[in-house]
Copies of this chain bind each other. A is one copy, B any other.
């Protein structure tokens, strides 16, 4: 990105945060009912589904017996949460969610530890981000702590759907959609928060599998003054055709960059980390800063905090561009590149295509067969250790 645009980006971000703080205030009213977990009404299914053998689970294909819904209206606030049998929603064909992408979502998981207890991982971070998303949709913020209690109750209700075994989990998908059933692009007067859950197996069933990236010079995921830092549906549909084009070229994921210098942004739907010996000769773990174009990932945040606590390497949130990565690769200074997200924890990268050339990314030089570098593996082991209750941490929250 040209320096002038960089300055603009910073300004956009600062002003944007202020603007959105204001609009959030306009859209919500503290006098109206908020989400209250104590008010949950439950209607249990009379036809529980058979469990799917956990080895046969495909991500996002199997859903548990129940779902949580909380309706909202601008006049009446958040209504009583409902836990009801999983099933189709009845949506008016004029609903804003179907026309104008009034929608945002989150992804987190429930893990079963060795003692059989069920745990969440930093759910407060998901609720904070979801409130940031609904604010951007000009919908009201909600009480995140109460929403977590509702989610816990949903997980308890469907606890038989939380698979045993490390790597297995119950994926939890909170979503907010605007249900306003009039046409016209304007603030929605009704919405629905719903949570569905889906049991899933390990992202890497047979151990890590490093992926190749295609640096897309055509499409841009997000931009200064856009919504790249909110988990809006709007950020996702436009990524599918470019992703398919990258696959056709023989690469597994897109490396999103921006500007003439190809500043790194994200990889596929994950945050991106580069571990290298920088030009000053320091060992450094770098990820792009939260300048308004990058999704503030929970895994991203956790990795930064872990790496800083470990010491021994410099940990930076700063701009880094593809030319710098290519130069580091050419000079043998590049150590690891990996994506980070809830689904995979980390995904090691073994190759990046940039302007006609494939840059090979090292994995573990000490283990030629390895599919992950030592830092990515340490991050993975530590985070999954916390998620499954093997390592004591405040980040792991028991669903008691």
Contact = CB atoms under 8 A, between A and B. Distances in A.
B99 A233 contact: yes
A20 B182 contact: no
Interface in A1-50: 2, 4-5, 8, 12, 15-16, 19-20, 22-23, 26-27
B218 A19 contact: yes
A98 B97 contact: yes
B226 A238 contact: yes
Nearest to A176: B98
A219 interface: yes
Contacts of A235: 101, 234
Given A94-B173, A234-B235, 10 more contacts: A12-B218, A15-B217, A16-B219, A59-B184, A98-B233, A183-B198, A185-B239, A185-B269, A220-B223, A220-B226
Contacts of A294: none
A101 B99 contact: no
A137 interface: yes
Interface stretch (A85-93, A113-121, A308-316, A363-371): A85-93
A236 interface: yes
Contacts of A202: none
A171 interface: yes
A54 B378 CA distance: 68
B242 A19 contact: yes
**Which 3 residue pairs spanning A and B have beta carbons closest together?**
A60-B183, A220-B225, A101-B233
B99 A236 contact: yes
A248 interface: yes
Given A22-B245, A63-B94, A218-B12, A187 B234 contact: no
Nearest to A184: B60
A183 B2 CA distance: 37
A15 B244 contact: no
8 contacts: A5-B260, A19-B218, A23-B241, A59-B183, A101-B232, A136-B238, A186-B243, A187-B244
Interface string A92-110: 1110111111110100000
A291 interface: no
Interface of A: 2, 4-5, 8, 12, 15-16, 19-20, 22-23, 26-27, 58-61, 63, 67, 86-94, 96-103, 105, 135-138, 171, 173, 175, 177-178, 182-188, 194, 196, 198, 217-220, 223-227, 232-245, 248, 259-260, 269
A136 B219 CA distance: 11
B244 A26 contact: yes
B182 A60 contact: yes
A219 to B, nearest CB: 5
Contacts of A245: 19, 22-23
A234 B223 CA distance: 14
A98 B186 CA distance: 18
Contacts of A94: 60, 63, 173, 196, 198
A92 B177 CA distance: 13
B223 A219 contact: no
A240 B4 contact: no
A240 B180 CA distance: 14
A93 B198 CA distance: 12
